[in-house]
Structure 1
């Protein structure tokens, strides 16, 4: 598994908690650092995509594997 600057386990959290936890976790990172997230909420796929788009963070990876959703997000260089 690649090295990430931070990891977030959002397994079992219902919408909108995964995105809220992602927002909080990204606040602890510097611009350009990466966050790995795993979630089980089926809505997280579209929610995380929308969140990264409107916050100018970069969604590097989004995939579903064995009913889990895996994301890699790079924090944007400008504060949002």
Structure 2
């Protein structure tokens, strides 16, 4: 596993805002600093909410590698 591969994938497909962000907030501290967590979310609001949460919480938003997927690096 490389540093860019997700250490964990959170499946939030079918969940509405703010549930994907809440799930991300609960799980990100469970992965090692420097590793990536991927959130699967098809709510259109996730495309704005996840990057905004990353800015507020000083986490690194890595982008969307595929439709309905959002990668975040745990920065500590």
In structure 2, the residue matched to 1:24 is 26
TM-score between both structures, scaled by the size of structure 2: 0.86
* 8 Å contact from structure 2 (residues 37, 72) kept in 1: yes
Unaligned runs of 5+ in 1: none
Between Structure 1 and Structure 2, the one with more strand by share is 1
Unaligned runs of 5+ in 2: none
Aligned with 2:9 (options 7, 10, 15)? 7
Ranges of 4+ aligned residues in structure 1 off by more than 3 Å: none
Matches of 2:74 and 2:47, distance apart in 1: 18
